Structure 1
Amino acid sequence: MIYLLLSVLSSTIIFIVFRLYKKYEVNTLQAIVINYFIACTVGFFGFIEGSDFTAVPSEKWFPGALMLGVLFITVFNLAAITTQKSGLSVVAVATKMSVAIPVFCGIFLYNESTGVLKIAGILLALVAVYLTSIKTKDGISIKWQNLIFPLLVFLGSGIIDTSLKFLETSYVSKTDVGLFSSTIFATAGLLGVLVMIYQAVRGELKLQFKNLLGGIALGVPNYFSIYFLVLALRSEGYESSTIFTINHVSIVALSTIVGIVLFKEKLIRKNWIGLILAMISIILVANSAI
C-alpha cells in the first residue's frame, strides 16, 4: 500500500500547486505544457536505467502511451472549457466521479471480487466525491447545452485510468514503468507545444518566467502520481477496483483537509458530510480487500 499512499500524496501536492497558480496568476496552459516535459525528464533521468530509447516505438505499449498522452492534454483542455462554462465544482465532480469507470471495468472485465463491504464502500465513495466537491448549498447546476463538456471530462478521465490498468496488466513490464510514464508525458507535452505555437501565430502567446516555475513545481509530483499509481496497480493482494476507489477518495479527502489547513477554506455542511463518508468508504473498501 506504500505506492498507493505515495500516489495520493503526489496528487495532493498537485492540488496545492494548482491553488498557488490562482494566487500568483500563473498561465495554466503554459505551466501544464512545461510540466509534461519536466515529468518526462524526471522519468528519463531518475527512473530509467539501461533502456534503449530508440526501441521505444517498437514497444507493445507505445501506441497506448501515445493515446494516453493525447487524452491527457485533451481532457485538460475540456476541463478548462467546463470550468469556464459551468464552474470548478462541475469539473471536480466529473473528474473524481470518473472513478466509477475503471472500478466497474475491473469488476466486469477482470472478474474482480465483489462483496457487501466493497460495493457499499464504492457507492459511499461516489456520494462522498460529489458532496466534497460542491461549494454551494444548492449543489451544482449545468445548462443543458453545456452538458457535453463535463460528460467528456468524465469519460476521458475514466478512460485514462482504465487504459492505465489495461496497459499495465497486458504490456508494461516492471522495468518499463518509468519509460512508459515518461512517454505519456512527452506525447502530451509535444501536443501542448503545438497548441502554444497556434497561440503564438494568433498573437495570443505571452511567455512569463513564473509560468516556467509553475510547470517545474507541477511536473515532479505529476510524474510520481502516475508512476506510483502504476506500481500500486501491480501490488499483490489488491485489485484495481480497490486501488482506484481508495486512490480517488483519499485524494479528495486529503485535498479537502489541506484546503482547510493551508488555504483557510470554509466548508459547508455537505462538504463535512462528504469528508466523513469518504473516510468510511476508504475503511470499507480497504477491509474488503483483507
Structure 2
Amino acid sequence: MSLTEHRPTPAGPLRSGAGWPLRLLAAATVAPLIRWIVAADSVPGGTARRTGCDNCGTPFGSAGPPLALSPLARCGACRQRIGAPPATVELALLVSIGVLVLAARPAVETVAFAWWLLCALPLFFVDLAVHRLPDRLTSAAAFGTWGLLGLAALAGDSGTAAGGGADWLRALLAGGAVAFVFAASTVLLGRRGFGLGDAKLVLSSAAVLGWFGWGPVFLGLMVAFVAAALTSVVLLVAGRVRWSGHLPFGPFLILGSMVALALA
C-alpha cells in the first residue's frame, strides 16, 4: 500500500522531456545566487556575512569577477576556492529538478516545493561548512513554504483525497509537531540533542511532507536518521571523527525530505 492516498496527477509538461532545456536554463540562472548565499553565510555564528575572498579581499557577487560564482568556485584574482566545492551546487540543482519531476504535482504545489528546495540547498552547504543553519534562510523556508502551500489549498491543489484545506492544516501541524520535538531535545539534552537550527528547518521540511500525509513525514525522518547513522559509522571507522564529535544533521534532514518528496 502506498504511503499516501493522493489523487492521480495527469501526465503533463513536468513529466515530459520537452521542458528540460528550460529547467537547465533555470538551474544555470539560480546557481550563482545559491553560490553567493553559501559563500556569504558560511561564517561562524555572530560573524558578519562574508563579502570577499578571505585570501585577497576581492569581492564576489555582482561587484566582483564572475568566476567566484561559476561552477569553478574560484576567486577571480587569486584563484582560491570560494564557497561550496566546484560543481556541487549545480549538481544539487539538477537533483532538485529531478525531485520536482518525480513528484509531478500541480503548478502551485510545484512552486511551493521549488521554493523550499531553493532555501534548503544553501542551508545544506552552509551547515556542512560551518555547522549552522542561518535564521534568515530557515525563516524564509518556513514562511514561504507555508504561504505557498496555503495558496495551493485555495487553488484546489491537494496532496491527498482529503482536500487542500485539510492538507494545509496537516502540513502546518506536521512542521510544528516535529519542530517541537526537536526543540525539546535541545532543552533537555543540550549538545546531545538536536540544534535549534534543525528545529527551525523542520518547520518547513516536515510541512512539505505533511502536505501528503504522515507517512512521508516518517519516511523523510527515517531516511535522515539512517543516513546520519551510516555516515557517522563510516567516519568513525575511517578516523575522521571521534565519538565526541558533532555531525551536522541539517544536510541529512534535507536529503531525507527530498527522498520522501520524490516518492510521495
TM above 0.5, one fold?
Answer: no
Query: TM-score normalised to the size of structure 2?
Result: 0.32
More helix, by proportion: 1
Q: Which has the bigger relative contact order, CA under 8 A and spacing at least 6?
A: 1
Query: TM-score normalised to the size of structure 1?
Result: 0.30
